[in-house]
Amino acid sequence: MQIRTLAVALLMGGFSAAFTAPSLAQENTEPLRFARGFSGNFLAAQIAGGDNDTASAVQFFERALNRDPGNPVLIQQAFFLHLINGSIEEAAPFAEDILQFEASNDLARTVLGVTALKQGNFGQAAEEFDQASGQAPLELLTNQLLAAWSEAGREDLESALARIDKLEGPDWYESFRSFHGGLIAGHLGDEDQAFARVARAYEFDQSALRIVEGFARLQARKGSPEKGLAAIRAFKQQVPRHPYMDRVEADINAGKQIDLASSSRTGAAEVLFGLGSALGRDGGSELPKIYLQLSLYLNPQSDLAIMALVDVYNDEKQYAQAVDLVDGLPEESVFAEAANIEAARNLARMEKVDEAIKRLTNIARESADPFAANLALANVLRFEKRFEEANEIYNLIIDGVKEPEMRHWSLYYSRAITHERTDRWDAAEADFRKALELFPDQPLVLNYLGYSFVDKGTNLDEALGMIEKAVEQRPEEGFILDSLGWAYFQLGRYEEAVEQLEKATEKMAADPLVHDHLGDAYWRVGRILEAQFQWAHARDLGPENPDDLAKIEAKLENGLPEDSATKLAATETETIVDQATDEGKAQRTHIVAEGESLWDIAKSLLGDGDAYLDILALNRDRLPESGPLVVGTELHIPDRK
């Protein structure tokens, strides 16, 4: 549903502009607390906003407003930020200020109408919604649906449905119009209209959770529970194991009847939740946050709205806000356990690992089925490189699996990693092969097992076949391309290694191991300067393992020792050179760098600039007749011993 593109006017241009400044805040540092004067506070607000610290940003904008009262830009920013933060009561005065210079501002009217509706002032609410401009389809739909619920608050079914029926707009209006017309009719006691309208919404959209729920519950109420259950089963084919729809199904089977909108307030909240969820699926975060926060203002116990907003925060990597929202979920919510597990993962992402482990341990202890919590706990421990502890939890989980299925491949894969990282290779290999038995040719398993074989120098042919299969499935994955390049390197196929490792470094420019591998491959093909550059870059990127860093520094000092393939290549080169000239014997090569001359190279490598004649004699067929050397040219360097 492409509705977000129709809503740009809601932001009035100012909000997004305020958050284009680059963030100067460093990760894990205290947010900015104080700033001086108008400019200082304005800049601090931009920096905080750029860092997604909207709580600090709104404080700085308000301080700037104290210096420049009535500034329209600052008023708009404070207004938007209060809405994004869920501070609806604090946003309302700014909405009134905005209307002083833009009387038909849609979002300001929406906010004032919502606050009036919550207070039960339904006439005032409808008046606010009607004064919005309605120039864009999203704005028109939002305010008129909310106005219809205001009429429902006055128990005026005819006026409410008249507002809905006269709404004209794009095709995606239909599901919202029909669904809310049905909810209003049901709320005010007209069961026939309720069913007819919700059924039409279901015909239009059979993927929206609340529409499917409404259709199923109304079918059950009309005495056709099987039709309702059939709609739920169809939904669950697309979204299996959905806890909310499981509860709806259980309610229908138990003959339990629940109204989707128990009041005009919850009905209006449903409007904002539905549109906010659609906006979130369509991309972006500011408008979804505003709509969902307004929905929660009207119905704070809506677990659906809470979870929709949690998803937005997770997408934005605003993990602290997501955790706070989860902590506000009703205890009886069907989402409570899964949401708390995700909150624990967020705590780990925020480097609050002990707190995450404690939360997951408590969930596993209290849950009727601790599988999900234990799996999350084991994964957190593994990601934190606490492999022995993770291994114990994976053992517990796998011991509880009676008949392993394809979906259990990742358990064996994950446990294999903990075995491998704790020097239990036989157990690791067995688990990797079990994972492949459950899920043949799974690319992650093929890559990890193949790379492990390559690194150990065993089963190289089998390893290469595994990695090549992984690359066929994931040709754009840098870490798999690195594995393939490293396999070629270990097999002495250095030119092929270079080709794959160069691709890998493009995909994983910040990974020191990939650059280290490429440096090794460059060295083996005689590209000495490039090898040294890659090793230096790998060193500067900071390898996690101190042993890796020591090896890189040793290579920068001494290069790689010769292997049999290198010695053979050198012998062949010497033979060719001897046949071509008796001026000297090539013992190494050199890649021409920017600005180098033959004299520079001779001075650097042979200690005598005049020795450039010896280099010239060895390389006449690869040097230009005149002009500077071509960068990247590979030159043979004579043996002066």
Q: What does 158-215 look like in DSSP terms, one character per residue?
A: HHHHHHHHT----TTHHHHHHHHHHHHHHHTT-HHHHHHHHHHHHHH-SS-HHHHHHH
In this structure, what CATH number is given to the domain that contains residue 44? 1.25.40
User: What is the token pair recorded at 241?
Assistant: 């194991």
Q: What is the pTM of this model?
A: 0.74
For residue 438, give the nearest of 473, 464, 403, 463 by alpha carbon: 403
Question: Is residue 117 situated within a structural domain?
Answer: no
Helices and strands of the chain, counted as H and E runs: 34, 2
**Rounded mean pLDDT, 544-557:** 92
Residue at 58: amino acid letter: V
Q: For residue 586, list its beta bridge partners.
A: 638
**Rounded mean pLDDT, 107-116:** 96
Is the CB of residue 61 less than 8 Å from the CB of residue 73? no
Q: What region, left, alpha or beta, does residue 32 occupy, with left being phi > 0 and alpha being psi -120 to 50 degrees? A: beta
Question: Is residue 44 situated within a structural domain?
Answer: yes
Question: Is residue 599 situated within a structural domain?
Answer: yes
Q: How far apart are CA 213 and CA 258, in angstroms?
A: 10
Residues 6+ apart with CB under 8 A from 527: 498, 589, 591, 634
Question: Can you give the pLDDT at residue 594?
Answer: 73
Q: What is the DSSP letter of 302?
A: -
The full length of the chain comes to: 641
Q: How far apart are CA 357 and CA 124, in angstroms?
A: 50
Q: For residue 590, list its beta bridge partners.
A: 635
What confidence category does residue 11 fall into, taking pLDDT thresholds of 50, 70 and 90? very low
Q: How far apart are CA 46 and CA 23, in angstroms?
A: 8
Q: How far from chain centre, in Å, is Cα 400?
A: 31
How many domains does the chain contain in total? 2
Q: What region, left, alpha or beta, does residue 257 occupy, with left being phi > 0 and alpha being psi -120 to 50 degrees? A: beta
Taking only the tens place, the pLDDT of each residue in 440-466 is: 999 999 999 999 999 898 999 999 999
Q: Is 189 exposed, middle or buried (0-12, 13-18, 19+ CB in 10 A)?
A: exposed
Q: What is the DSSP letter of 591?
A: E
Is the CB of residue 169 less than 8 Å from the CB of residue 141? yes
Question: Can you give the pLDDT at residue 202?
Answer: 96
Q: What region, left, alpha or beta, does residue 442 occupy, with left being phi > 0 and alpha being psi -120 to 50 degrees? A: beta
Q: What is the DSSP letter of 471?
A: H
Question: Is residue 543 situated within a structural domain?
Answer: no
**Rounded mean pLDDT, 624-630:** 72
Q: What region, left, alpha or beta, does residue 266 occupy, with left being phi > 0 and alpha being psi -120 to 50 degrees? A: alpha
Q: How far apart are CA 16 and CA 18, in angstroms?
A: 5
Question: Can you give the pLDDT at residue 416?
Answer: 98
Give the domain extent around 23.
Answer: 7-102
**Rounded mean pLDDT, 176-196:** 96
Question: Can you give the pLDDT at residue 135?
Answer: 84
User: What is the token pair recorded at 200?
Assistant: 């039409």
Percent of the chain clearing pLDDT 70 (strictly above): 84
Q: How far apart are CA 536 and CA 542, in angstroms?
A: 10
User: What is the token pair recorded at 408?
Assistant: 């259990």
Taking only the tens place, the pLDDT of each residue in 71-95 is: 888 888 889 888 998 999 999 999 9
Question: Is residue 563 situated within a structural domain?
Answer: no
Q: What is the DSSP letter of 84?
A: H
Residue at 29: amino acid letter: T
Question: Can you give the pLDDT at residue 570?
Answer: 41
Question: Is residue 53 situated within a structural domain?
Answer: yes
What is the b/e burial string over 502-516, where b = at least 16 CB atoms within 10 angstroms of the residue's CB? bbbbeebeebbbbbb
Question: Can you give the pLDDT at residue 565?
Answer: 46
For residue 512, give the nearest of 485, 481, 534, 531 by alpha carbon: 534
Is it the case that residue 147 has pLDDT exceeding 70?
A: yes
Q: What is the DSSP letter of 10?
A: G
Is it the case that residue 215 has pLDDT exceeding 80?
A: yes
Question: How far is the CA of 294 from the CAs of 69, 79, 393, 439, in angstroms?
Answer: 26, 13, 42, 46
Domain boundary among 44, 69, 102: 102
Residues 6+ apart with CB under 8 A from 249: 229, 232
For residue 494, give the nearest of 541, 564, 559, 555 by alpha carbon: 564
Is it the case that residue 38 has pLDDT exceeding 80?
A: no
Q: CB neighbours (10 Å) of residue 252?
A: 22
Q: How far apart are CA 519 and CA 531, in angstroms?
A: 4
Domain boundary among 79, 102, 125: 102
User: What is the token pair recorded at 33?
Assistant: 């607390």
Question: Can you give the pLDDT at residue 538?
Answer: 94
Q: How far apart are CA 56 and CA 85, in angstroms?
A: 11
Q: How far apart are CA 576 and CA 277, in angstroms?
A: 71
Is the CB of residue 488 less than 8 Å from the CB of residue 500? yes
Q: How far apart are CA 117 and CA 128, in angstroms?
A: 10
Q: Which helix (H) or strand (E) holds 409?
A: helix 409-421
Q: Kindly report the average pLDDT of the chain as a whole number.
A: 86
Taking only the tens place, the pLDDT of each residue in 507-540 is: 999 999 999 999 999 999 999 999 999 999 999 9
Residue whose tokens read 């053992």:
395
Q: Specify the range with the lowest mean pLDDT, choosing from 224-233, 309-318, 430-439, 499-508.
A: 309-318
Higher-pLDDT residue of 9 and 389 is 389
Q: Is 640 exposed, middle or buried (0-12, 13-18, 19+ CB in 10 A)?
A: middle
For residue 435, give the nearest of 407, 468, 458 by alpha carbon: 407
Percent of the chain clearing pLDDT 90 (strictly above): 68
Is it the case that residue 7 has pLDDT exceeding 50?
A: no
Domain boundary among 67, 102, 137: 102
Q: How far from chain centre, in Å, is Cα 42?
A: 30
Rounded to a whole number, what is the largest CA-CA distance in the chain? 107
**Rounded mean pLDDT, 24-52:** 52
In this structure, what CATH number is given to the domain that contains residue 592? 3.10.350
Residue whose tokens read 């920017």:
594
Q: How far apart are CA 303 and CA 324, in angstroms?
A: 14
Higher-pLDDT residue of 343 and 586 is 343
What confidence category does residue 567 fall into, taking pLDDT thresholds of 50, 70 and 90? very low
Question: Is residue 470 situated within a structural domain?
Answer: no
Q: Which helix (H) or strand (E) holds 633?
A: none
Question: Is residue 576 situated within a structural domain?
Answer: yes
Question: Can you give the pLDDT at residue 10?
Answer: 35
Question: Can you give the pLDDT at residue 568?
Answer: 39
Is it the case that residue 111 has pLDDT exceeding 60?
A: yes
User: What is the token pair recorded at 530?
Assistant: 């490039």
Q: How far apart are CA 12 and CA 42, in angstroms?
A: 19
Angle at 62 between CA 59 and CA 67, to 5 degrees: 130
